[in-house]
Amino acid sequence: MSDTWLVFVPEDPRALPAPDAIARALDLLKQLAPDADEVAATVTDDVRFHDCGENWSGVTCPRCAADIEDWWFEAMDAAFRSAFADLRATTPCCRLATTLNDVTFGWPAGFGRVALAARNPGIFDTTPDQDAALDAAAGLKLRKIWRRI
* Footprint of Zn ion (CB under 5 A): 61, 63-64, 66, 91, 93-94
* Residue 63 CB, nearest approach to Zn ion (Å): 5
Residue nearest to Zn ion (CB): 61
Q: Considering the complex, state which of residue 27 and residue 74 has its C-beta at the smaller distance from Zn ion.
A: 74
Q: Considering the complex, state which of residue 64 and residue 78 has its C-beta at the smaller distance from Zn ion.
A: 64
The span from the CA of 55 to the CA of 91, in Å, is: 23
- 21 closest CA partner among 142, 109, 144, 107: 142
* Residue 106 CB, nearest approach to Zn ion (Å): 15
Backbone region of residue 30 per phi and psi (left: phi > 0; alpha: psi in -120 to 50; beta: other values): alpha
Q: Considering the complex, state which of residue 68 and residue 145 has its C-beta at the smaller distance from Zn ion.
A: 68
Contact between 5 and 147 (Cβ < 8 Å)? yes
* Residue 22 CB, nearest approach to Zn ion (Å): 36
- 146 closest CA partner among 31, 56, 27: 56
Q: Considering the complex, state which of residue 81 and residue 95 has its C-beta at the smaller distance from Zn ion.
A: 95
* Residue 48 CB, nearest approach to Zn ion (Å): 26
The span from the CA of 85 to the CA of 65, in Å, is: 26
